[in-house]
Amino acid sequence: MSRDELISRLKECERGYSGAGYCRATAVTYIENEYLEVIEFSSSNKKLGNDIYIAQWNITYRPKRDFQHLPGWKALRENFDVDITPSKKYGSCLAIRIYQMGEHPTPQYVKMVIDIIFNN
């Protein structure tokens, strides 16, 4: 799938609201490349109103090399509210944070994010 197709599919996750739940999972699909090793993904919620929540995705990884100069990262930033911040749970790790998502992340969605960043 092309980067544009992946972005379009991921955009569907912005629609709607996530509900009050949250998710946390060790990376079920082992993802490692020359830039990072994904160790966990999770979500947290922000309450917008009565029973209305929006999810923040957290993809926690061990960094190997900086990837913020890659075209895929730039494309992700152009299309989503995304940032990289330190992980509080794992001291030496970082987390890709994707804000304002309408669904919780799944292993497939995490793989799509990684593919957008690293596949041409």
| Residue 59, pLDDT score | 93
Residue 46: beta bridge partners? Answer: 54
Model confidence at 100, pLDDT cuts 50, 70, 90, reads confident
Distance CA 15, CA 12 (A): 6
The boundaries of the domain holding residue 33 are 3-118
| Residue 55, pLDDT score | 79
Length of the chain: 120
Distance CA 8, CA 42 (A): 22
| Residue 103, pLDDT score | 79
Residue 28 clears pLDDT 80, i.e. is over it:
no
DSSP helix/strand/coil, 112: helix
Structural domains of the chain, count: 1
* Mean pLDDT score of the chain: 85
Backbone angles phi, psi at 68, to 5 degrees: -70, -10
Which of 61, 76, 108 shows the shortest CA–CA distance to 4?
76
